[in-house]
Structure 1
Amino acid sequence: MIKKKIFPRLLALNAALLMAGCSMIPTYQRPAAPVADAFPGYASATQSAPSAALDAPAAASVAWQDFFSDARLKGLIEQSLANNRDLRVAVLNIEQARAQYQIRRADQLPTVNGVLTGSRAPGANGGASSLYNVGLTVTAYELDFFGRVASLKEAALAQYLASEEGRKTVQISLIAAVANAYLSVLADEELLGITRQTLATRQESVRLSRLRFDNGVTSELDFQQAESLLQAAQVAYAQQQRQRALDENALTLLVGQPLAPGMLPSATAGQTVALAQFAPMLDVPAGLPSGLLVNRPDIRQAEQQLLAAHANIGAARAAFFPRISLTVGAGSASSQLSELTKSGSWGWTLAPQLLLPIFDAGRNIAGLDSAKVGRDIAVAQYEKAIQTAFREVADALATRATLADQLQAQQRQANAEAVRFKLSNLRYQNGVASYLDLLDAQRSLFAAQQAVVQTRLAQLQSQVTLYKALGGGWKEALPAALAATQQAAVMAAAPGASAPAR
């Protein structure tokens, strides 16, 4: 009766002592953002902006399905989210971090094992004695009075949450990379179309120049100049074909599988290819730097790593204090294996152990110093993440503000060059202008048309970059395979998985 009452009381006392354990994790205070209060030129822009623009949704609240309107691009993004290996690695990193967190969380509870042992030793009268034991045992369970195990669990939890934010960062980057690669392929197709038209025009010019030269109307100089321009167009066409193939290969790698027929438009297949006809993307306003702290997953990832570093300091501090462990066993013992289940063989053991650090050659001090330096490194990385995010948004805003004007001016220049080429051709046909003037107008028109396509590509890609820099692109349902993995991870970590105190 006494034994049956004592064992439950010991377990209750153990639980009470465990709950009374203290934490030595330093109080966390979010470092101040080492950036300006507003983006360069943003304050003045918001004052003069119409109310409709200011009421536009923030980028982080706009799912990529709403931001992109092009059906082909949406299909490519969906395939990349399902098949891209970098995103798959990011999801598996979450699984690994979750398993590490579960290991640390399990350290807070005793591990109960079933034990069956047998021993045989020489007896007092020259014979041999046997002893058999069977029962349950808890070996070296640490009573976490000073929060060492709890601190390690909090560090593992922060790392787990950081891996989830890392997955979101990878997804945002993947969506932006697929969109930019798709736009590059469209630009390549449009440039190829322009070059094919230029080639046809220059081949006709070479034919006419050859005819005039053979009839003695013009000199060989005019013919060689026309031939030179034709070969220059051939060079440009070969370069653009190579770039088109490279961009398609890059897009295939991002998607993670071979592209299905019809996923990319092609002028050779009779499809109209022009960036000017690309479905417009939703315009999103820029937020303030304080908004970046909420919307950018990479900044939240850096903050979770900073919280993990704080928790490691708590574990390092707890190492200076006594470590109390408990070994408990309960079962039956007998000299005969067949008598283990008989009455009267029941017994239990209780073996507490107190380990007090006295001399460790500075190991604990070095461990605490290392944890503090790790915290300082995490602070610097967190501040650098904010500065990087601020610079990316500022660059995207500056690019968006100037590319619109540049594109308009470039289009006007291309229109002027087209009129110039038409007039130069008329003047040459009527003998007023030289053939050199006609070839120069033809060359300038080709360069101006290429510049328009390249500037329009830069403008569209800058919209994608701004959307990415503002933290948009991850608020949507994952593909079925990834969603199942993520749901299992969250459900497994849910019990007791409270975030560290902010």
Structure 2
Amino acid sequence: MPAKFYCPTLWIFSALAALWAVGCESPAPRDAKALAFQAPQHWSSNGHFAEPAVTGWLQAFNDTGLTELVNAGLIDNFDLKSAAARVDAAREQAVIAGSGRWPQLSLAQGYQRAKTNAGGESSEYGAFTALFNLSWELDVWGRIKAGQQAAETDAEAAGDDFHAAQLSLAARIAQAYFEFSEAQLQAAVAAQSIKDRGVIADLVRGRFNKGLTRGLDLRLVLTDLANAEAQLAQARNDVQLIGRRLQALLGRYPDNQLRQSGSNQLDPALSLPQPPPSLTAGLPAELLERRPDVIAAFKRLRAADSRLESAEKALLPRVTLTGAGGASSAALTEIIDPRAAAWNLAAGLAQPLFTGGRLQGEIRFNEAKVQEAFNQYQSVALNAFREVEQALAAEAWLRTQEQALREAVQQTEASRKLAVYSYRQGLIEILTLLDSYRSTLNAQSAHLAVQRQLLNNRINLYLALGGGV
């Protein structure tokens, strides 16, 4: 059987054609709704399925002080300014990544002075030079374009991160504002309790001086009064701690002097507002298009796909154009004469043959990064669903708890008044009276706490749903 001979040139072009076919394949388009877990059709804790989700939540509280503080924080907060700078840096990184698609031209100017010895005679000469270099990689397969696309998508994700940072900052300022209001109310409740207990202490002291009660009763009353004063000190310390934290969120020096623009002092809230009664959460599928952190995670997955595409196309030949030229003359005026210029242009085709596994390693590296970005997206999406479901369920339970504690406050206040009357009549012991005061203070404090938790949970729900402030 005669031996068959293959043309090396034909084999090379066949291999390059195969590489070209592989290199021109684009990654499969991604679907943001293609999740690794089953997303529900409706929220399990919400009955308003057909209504669109809320888009702006700040005005719903109808609190001008809160609105002004949030708007000020969105302008002056330093962490948010850092996030804005990261967006600018990511956009410029995309410009850098795409610069390789354009010709690179440089010009070098100089002066040379040299001395030579020939035949025992020496001579010196000088020359002015003006040289340019040109290089341009023709992005035939789209390798550089894929890298640029990855950087641009990362820049878009950074913009979504900035939007998420805005929402998070607005939520933290609002929650700190409500915590500050609660702390002030807690201090006011503790101060009123001390005033009421002071009346009882005077009563018991007067009865003790008349020999109508034991010294133990007076000791117990004074001990209870001292404990109440300690609670007031703790409440006032909470006020200054939360106030300084709120100032730091606003980008202000924490001097514990909260002020609104156009006023000397932030007026303390006389009561915590009720959460807005109506709330629509929309459909779960809408969350993937509303939450900026979910959107950013998906864009980073697409950026990872583009980087993998660029790494795979690095196996293909690179077509480059190079050029060099310039002029050299002893007279400075002559180097600008076009007749004195010399130049050359060249086109080349470079095919990687052996790189010690670098190119294959970069492909496997980017494949792993794609898997990392995919699973990160799934994790962020799943966490977003959890936060919404958790906040929806918590609101119902917190409302039930708030109603129960409101009833407890009314009952303890009535029992305290009855206990004072009964003690004056000698019908109960001092411990029962002191217990009534402690129960009243604890019920009032717990009621304020759950009111603030209800407001915080509503803000958490707004934040979980995404959208605007």
Asked if structure 2 preserves the Cα contact closer than 8 Å seen for 1:152 and 1:311, the reply is yes
What amino acid sits opposite 1:397 in the alignment? L
Output the CA distance in 2 between the equivalents of 1:224 and 1:39.
61
Partner of residue 402 from structure 2, selected from 407, 425, 434: 407
Instruction: Give the whole-Å Cα distance in 2 for the aligned partners of 1:123 and 1:355.
Output: 40
Greater shift in the superposed pair: 143-152 or 367-376: 143-152
Q: Distance in 2 between matches of 1:263 and 1:285?
A: 36
Amino acid at match of 1:41: S
Q: Which residue is equivalent to 1:355?
A: 350
Task: Extract unaligned runs of 5+ from structure 1.
Answer: 1-20, 48-53, 267-271, 475-502
- Asked if 1:83 corresponds to 2:84, the answer is no
Name which of structure 1's ranges 320-329 and 299-308 shifts more when overlaid on structure 2.
320-329
3-state SS of the aligned residue for 2:343? strand
Residues 92-145 of structure 1 show CA distances to partners (whole Å, capped at 9, x for unaligned) of 001111111111222211123334356677889766787765365413x21112
Q: Distance in 2 between the 1:285 and 1:399 partners?
A: 15
- Structure 1 residues 365 and 84, CA, compared in 2 at 3 Å: closer, same or farther? same
Alpha-carbon RMSD across the aligned residues, in angstroms, is: 2.7
Query: How has the CA–CA distance of structure 1 residues 263 and 157 changed in structure 2, closer, same or farther, with 3 Å as cutoff?
Result: farther
Matched AA of 1:30: D
User: SS of 2:426's equivalent?
Assistant: coil
Which of 150, 155, 173 is matched with 2:150 structurally? Answer: 155
How far does residue 30 in structure 1 lie from its aligned partner after superposition?
2.6
Matched, 1:202 2:204: no
CA distance change for structure 1 residues 419 and 354 in 2, over 3 Å: closer, same or farther? same
Structure 2 counterpart of 1:453, from 448, 457, 463: 448
Number of the residue aligned with 2:373: 378
**SS at 1:457 equivalent:** helix
Q: Judging changes above 3 Å, is the alpha-carbon distance between structure 1 residues 344 and 445 closer, same or farther for their aligned structure 2 residues?
A: closer
Which one-letter code corresponds to 2:92 in the other structure?
A
- Alpha-carbon distance change, 227 to 124 in structure 1, aligned in 2, over 3 angstroms: closer
Per the alignment, residue 264 of structure 1 pairs with: 266
Equivalent residue, structure 1, for 2:44: 41
C-alpha offsets along residues 330-383 of structure 1, whole Å, 9 cap, x if unaligned?
555557654334463344311223322111111111110000000100011111
Identity of aligned residues (%): 29
- The aligned runs of 1:28-177 (5 Å cut-off) are 28-30=29-31, 32-33=34-35, 34-38=37-41, 41-42=44-45, 45-46=47-48, 55=51, 58-59=53-54, 61-62=55-56, 64-116=57-109, 134=130, 136-139=132-135, 141-177=136-172
The code of the aligned residue for 1:104 comes to A
Q: Per the alignment, do residues 353 and 282 of structure 1 end up closer, same or farther by CA in structure 2, a change over 3 Å counting?
A: farther
Amino acid of the structure 1 residue aligned with 2:31: R
1:100 corresponds to which letter in structure 2?
Q
Q: Provide TM-score, normalisation by structure 2.
A: 0.86
For residue 28 of structure 2, what is the aligned residue in structure 1?
27
SS in 2 for 1:284: coil
Kindly provide the amino acid, as one letter, of the partner of residue 432 in structure 1: L
> What SS does the corresponding residue of 1:142 show, helix, strand or coil?
strand
Matches of 2:129 and 2:248, distance apart in 1: 61
- Structure 2 CA distance for aligned equivalents of residues 462 and 349 of structure 1: 71
How far did 1:29 drift? Answer: 1.9
- Give the CA deviation at 1:39: 6.0
Identify the residue that residue 382 of structure 2 maps to in structure 1. Answer: 387
User: Where do residues 246-261 of structure 1 align in structure 2 (5 Å cutoff)?
Assistant: 246-258=241-253, 259-260=258-259
Which of the numbers 175, 181, 191 marks the counterpart of 1:180? 175
Relative to structure 1, the CA distance from residue 263 to residue 382 in structure 2 (aligned partners, 3 Å threshold; closer, same or farther) is farther
CA distance in 2, matches of 1:228, 1:384: 53
**TM-score where L is the length of structure 1:** 0.80
More deviation in 242-251 or 431-440? 431-440
- State whether residues 275 and 458 of structure 2, in contact with CA within 8 Å, keep that contact through their aligned partners in structure 1: no
Q: How many Å apart are 1:22 and its aligned residue?
A: 6.7
Query: For 1:289-310, what per-residue CA distance to the aligned partner results, in whole angstroms no more than 9, with x for missing partners?
Result: 2111111000111111111111
Task: Decide whether aligned partners of structure 1 residues 154 and 215 sit closer, same or farther in structure 2, where only a CA change above 3 A counts.
Answer: same
Whole-angstrom distance in 1 between the partners of 2:451 and 2:265: 22
Report the counterpart of residue 12 of structure 2 in structure 1. none
Q: Secondary structure at the match of 1:400?
A: helix
CA contact (8 A) 2:138 2:320 kept: yes
Instruction: Return the letter of the residue paired with 1:212.
Output: R
In the aligned structure 2, how far is the partner of 1:192 from the partner of 1:95?
45
Query: Which has the bigger relative contact order, CA under 8 A and spacing at least 6?
Result: 1
> What whole-Å deviation, never above 9, does each CA across 1:187-225 have from its counterpart, x for those lacking one?
011111111111011111111111112211111222222
Shift of 1:24: 5.0
Structure 2: gaps spanning 5 or more residues: 1-21
2:101 is paired with a residue whose SS is: coil
Say if 1:131 and 1:320 are closer, same or farther in 2 by CA, change over 3 A.
Answer: farther
Which residue identity does 1:264 align to in structure 2? Answer: L
User: 1:65-92: per-residue Cα shift (whole Å, max 9, x none)?
Assistant: 5334211111111111111011000000
Q: Name the CA distance, whole Å, in 2 between partners of 1:149 and 1:40.
A: 44
Residue identity in the other structure for 1:154: Q
Question: CA 1:70/1:262 → structure 2, altered by over 3 Å: closer, same or farther?
Answer: farther
**Counterpart Cα distance in 1 of 2:146 and 2:454:** 49
Q: Deviations over 1:395-454 (max 9, x none)?
A: 111111111111111101111111111122222222333333222212111111111111
Q: Which amino acid aligns with 1:84?
A: N
Q: Matched residue pairs, number?
A: 437
Q: 1:436 aligns with which of 417, 421, 431?
A: 431
Q: Aligned residue for 2:3? A: none
The structure-2 alpha-carbon separation of the partners of 1:323 and 1:130, relative to structure 1 and needing over 3 Å to count, comes to farther
**Counterpart code for 2:300:** Q
Q: Distance in 2 between matches of 1:92 and 1:145?
A: 34
1:288 Cα deviation after fit: 2.5
* Equivalent residues of 1:284, 1:467 under 8 A apart: no
